[in-house]
Structure 1
């Protein structure tokens, strides 16, 4: 009896508790949390006796952090909360209703990631929001400025029995957008449907889905549709470290469960490329861990650069001329907090012009600034190029590219269709160099490049010129073909300078040897060619031939005094005198091939 009486007395005291006594303790607790003085004008109970007291708060003010600017982080003119005490004891905070009249929020994130709505050192909890049976908001305003992702918003918010609405304007990467949110009334613990629209000339994005319960942004699933001039606009919203691209039109279904995201039914276009796939993204210890698959029926590498990047590439092409090595960026700074595995398959590769590269397969692995592709495979018109690719960028250093690729069962004609030269083609490339792009890294690289062509044909005129046979090169048959026994090229690179050792072309008409260097950064040639016919030449060009220019646009010149005319008259004089010229023998093609492709 005594115990029952004591419990009854305690219940009566709680039911009649004067909540206004908690104003100063509440101010102290909030001030400690935010690290600055929080003030509450009044805190009082507006009902007289109830086990679900109605508490009114007026003039709540949370000052802005000094680093975030002037003004207040939050101001609430009037807040009325009905809290059932029994539920508070059983399941944590639960409110029958929350009514707000007059609210302003000024949310700021700096370029270095500081967020004014979090206490120092506080991370996202990923927990569930408090349970509320009903929420109403009148005269609510939200301002959001994010320097890290370059996005802003100024909006009004209204909530009540008909649902919750947020309407406003802002910008994403400097592009103006309108922002609209429509959601069901806030109440209960069931699924909470919502729709978000971001609309502007540069981007349009629609999110249609439901949260596991009202305001539970940590547990939701939704359909996503995005169209943008550049994938970076989408990345500014979803924060996934996506690259700058050509215009995109994408659809996907996304599910979030705490710190984990699952993306399925991804489908759409980037420029003239199409993509499809799925992925899971987990957040662990401040890092994103991805496991996904991307497939493309057609894929253009140029679609991974935006209009500005293409303009820069065109300017470089105009200044420096056409290049062989691509200027593709390999800087991993955007994904420095990302790890994981991504399986890639491109059924058909698209290029601005003719190219022997047809398809792409590989598994990309990223681990703390180390990107590896150990099973890279490029399908060619004939044959394959396969091997390993590695990009290492750790401890704040720039990227270092390593390539170890093998070309098998290729054809010369696929790489040089205008020359009418054909034959089997094998190759090996092992290069390592630092640089922000593939071109820059190869331009500073060390290693080797080996190329071997065998068992083919070439125009008889070309074969004669390779033997420095002027008459055969000028007056030979246009249709007749000579036999290509072998062509072996070995380049040993050090610091971006590739030395020829050897470069020999052996045909049924002549044997040609080249010496010299190639400056990989400029793709500039500095070679000397000496050709020897395998049979008597009516008029043989005397002395070596200089090959300069670039890999894409080589120049052929005759060294020494007198130029072309002098060399020509000297050659004619030797022919008139009947001076006997040396005749070449067949090269050791097997030995040359082994030497060109050998590991040294």
Structure 2
């Protein structure tokens, strides 16, 4: 018996499914058509409140439309129209709204809201205002929606045609203490092309310094299409001009983007003061660098340029974390000595035009003083930290040949250390460690300067000493500690020791000098302007003990081939007054001898040399009297030196020891030096000098 399959039943089920699907599709299309028709007729105005609620929920922001509202398909593009639209900022922001617009009218590609990049066929925006802010912790920004930490860059849609009028943009970064408020030029684009540069202008404040800014977007078409953004910007602040140029991946993305930066102005210190960094003043500068922002770090590489008549190159990183920190490494081929003047507090422009005395006066120093009274910027120094390594090939100077300077600077919570600072000076080496600790009030300052053996001919070539024929060398050390916020105050209160040792050698001068003060030699120098042979030095010591800013000779003692030269007196860091006297005692009989002291007085800025001292004038008067009552030959007796000077023992001199440790050739203590005097006999009362002791 044969049976047949129920094929008609399967076919009926398939047809039934198709009918259901068709009816559903027709229903959906009918529903969409009905929705489209309702929206088209009503312009979707009834969706105003749902729009505010839905968008507000998605963005976690309060959204309001204060005027007319339209949202519908026209015919296949979404038309969105809103008047007085406002999207709120997060609660921590300083302004209530992230975005406001008097009117926005746009056509949106529907599928772009779901797939791919958002696309606007056209946009008409009137009187828009955008407020972009970072929070104080710099872990949230106002344009990133949601509760997650972090901040995303601005993500602009593709816009085929646009008219944007009266747009204002405000940007606030509390970490940088930066506030910018700019206005965009009117923008009109067609077929996703603007066709001309778009400009913006405005100003703001960085820390406490106002600035103005002008910028131009040179490739606005690429910007509209979310491509490359060629930006040029010029800012002016505190007399400085800053130019920035670069290509941004998006209009608000600066991080990890190399930017070409140029800064120029009258004084680089005024530019860095804007961000709370204190450096010495400079003359006019012009610097170029590449800037890359990496989180809180701003790295300036390929740095090069000039300040005054000097050049500079290297790198600089400014970090803005818990404390502002500068880390830099610089090189200079040639440093003009005038450009180095700010390192000790001088204004270099005044030094170049009027000299050091005028520059010191400009800092508040008394008339005819040379030490500056410029105070350390204590408050600023305690707000930022810095590390600097600086190499200088050569210093351009008329008098001192200085080269190969290496300086290491460390500023840590107000403690500034220049340690070590080394240089080559006149084929000798100088090493220094200087500390300004502003954490102590007033600042605790220490100076430790060491001079390695240096040829006198090279060192004093600019001061009338002939290098040829001068074989002597000098070495020394200055150790002082004081308190004060200026160089003058720290030295005026300082105590310590200054000592320079001169081993055996020779010195040949072209002009009158404080050596070999023998009357016959002096007359020879005065008329012939030079010596027939160099001064022969066995050993010499110039040393001072400093107490409370007053330096007393301890001792000044030279032993030469012919004479023993002694010095007494001292100088004051307080008033910068000099009160020194030198006397040469001959070792052998001399017919013409100036046993009377030669005085050095005046001030650091204007020393005076009193070669014909009152004592010598008195002796000349005695000679004149003898010539009148006796014979002219008797007048010469007033200038006869019996030649009884005791040669010095060079051991204590070369060790730089104080006066109490000095010995004569026979090993006996010297009684003609010590306690700031050269009077014979240590027990004799001495005359006060500098009006102090």
Same fold (TM over 0.5): yes
Structure 1 match to 2:477: 428
Structure 1 match to 2:500: 451
1:20 pairs, out of 18, 36, 49, with 49
User: Secondary structure at the residue paired with 2:315?
Assistant: strand
Structure 1 match to 2:394: 348
User: Secondary structure at the residue paired with 1:568?
Assistant: helix
Summarize the Cα distance change of 1:482–1:430 in structure 2 as closer, same or farther, 3 Å threshold.
Answer: same
Summarize the Cα distance change of 1:40–1:280 in structure 2 as closer, same or farther, 3 Å threshold.
Answer: same
CA distance in 2, matches of 1:451, 1:191: 66
CA distance in 1, matches of 2:610, 2:512: 18
**Contact 1:103 / 1:140 at 8 angstroms: preserved in 2?**
yes
Instruction: Kindly indicate whether residue 375 of structure 2 is the aligned counterpart of residue 375 of structure 1.
Output: no
Structure 2 match to 1:288: 324
CA distance in 2, matches of 1:362, 1:58: 61
Summarize the Cα distance change of 1:344–1:203 in structure 2 as closer, same or farther, 3 Å threshold.
Answer: same
Structure 1 position 261, deviation (Å): 1.8
**Contact 1:274 / 1:296 at 8 angstroms: preserved in 2?**
yes
Instruction: Kindly indicate whether residue 211 of structure 2 is the aligned counterpart of residue 166 of structure 1.
Output: no
**Bigger Rg, which one:** 2
Residues 509-520 of structure 1: matches in 2 within 5 Å?
Answer: 509-520=562-573
CA distance in 1, matches of 2:563, 2:579: 22
Structure 2 match to 1:358: 403
Aligned-residue RMSD, C-alpha: 5.2
CA distance in 2, matches of 1:200, 1:578: 71
5+ long unaligned stretches in structure 2: 1-27, 142-149, 627-634, 662-693
Structure 2 match to 1:181: 216
Structure 2 match to 1:140: 167
2:311 pairs, out of 274, 277, 290, with 274
5+ long unaligned stretches in structure 1: 1-7, 108-115
Summarize the Cα distance change of 1:255–1:429 in structure 2 as closer, same or farther, 3 Å threshold.
Answer: same
CA distance in 2, matches of 1:24, 1:44: 17
Q: Deviations over 1:522-548 (max 9, x none)?
A: 432122333311111214445544431
Instruction: Kindly indicate whether residue 555 of structure 2 is the aligned counterpart of residue 496 of structure 1.
Output: no
CA distance in 2, matches of 1:565, 1:462: 22
**Contact 2:596 / 2:615 at 8 angstroms: preserved in 1?**
no
**Contact 2:551 / 2:571 at 8 angstroms: preserved in 1?**
yes
Structure 1 position 387, deviation (Å): 3.0
Residues 388-399 of structure 1: matches in 2 within 5 Å?
Answer: 388-394=433-439, 397=441, 399=443
1:127 pairs, out of 151, 170, 179, with 151
**Contact 1:449 / 1:491 at 8 angstroms: preserved in 2?**
yes
2:251 pairs, out of 207, 214, 227, with 214
Structure 1 position 451, deviation (Å): 0.9
1:58 pairs, out of 76, 80, 84, with 84
**Contact 1:493 / 1:499 at 8 angstroms: preserved in 2?**
yes
User: Secondary structure at the residue paired with 2:66?
Assistant: strand
Summarize the Cα distance change of 1:26–1:518 in structure 2 as closer, same or farther, 3 Å threshold.
Answer: farther
Instruction: Kindly indicate whether residue 590 of structure 2 is the aligned counterpart of residue 537 of structure 1.
Output: yes
Structure 1 position 302, deviation (Å): 3.1
Instruction: Kindly indicate whether residue 530 of structure 2 is the aligned counterpart of residue 481 of structure 1.
Output: no
Structure 1 position 308, deviation (Å): 6.4
**Contact 2:516 / 2:535 at 8 angstroms: preserved in 1?**
no
Structure 2 match to 1:576: 637
Structure 2 match to 1:224: 261
Structure 2 match to 1:249: 286
Summarize the Cα distance change of 1:488–1:462 in structure 2 as closer, same or farther, 3 Å threshold.
Answer: farther
CA distance in 1, matches of 2:152, 2:280: 32
User: Secondary structure at the residue paired with 2:648?
Assistant: coil
CA distance in 1, matches of 2:585, 2:491: 33
Structure 1 position 183, deviation (Å): 5.0
**Contact 2:508 / 2:535 at 8 angstroms: preserved in 1?**
yes
Structure 1 position 449, deviation (Å): 1.6
Summarize the Cα distance change of 1:237–1:492 in structure 2 as closer, same or farther, 3 Å threshold.
Answer: closer
Structure 1 match to 2:678: none
Question: Greater shift after overlay, 426-435 or 126-135?
Answer: 126-135
Please, what TM-score do these two structures have when normalized by structure 1?
A: 0.74
CA distance in 2, matches of 1:222, 1:547: 59
Structure 2 match to 1:566: 618
User: Secondary structure at the residue paired with 1:472?
Assistant: helix
Q: How many correspondences in the alignment?
A: 562
Structure 1 position 331, deviation (Å): 3.7
> Would you tell me which structure has more strand in proportion to its own residues?
1
Structure 2 match to 1:472: 521
Structure 1 position 295, deviation (Å): 0.7
Structure 2 match to 1:315: 358
Structure 1 match to 2:18: none
Structure 1 position 144, deviation (Å): 9.7
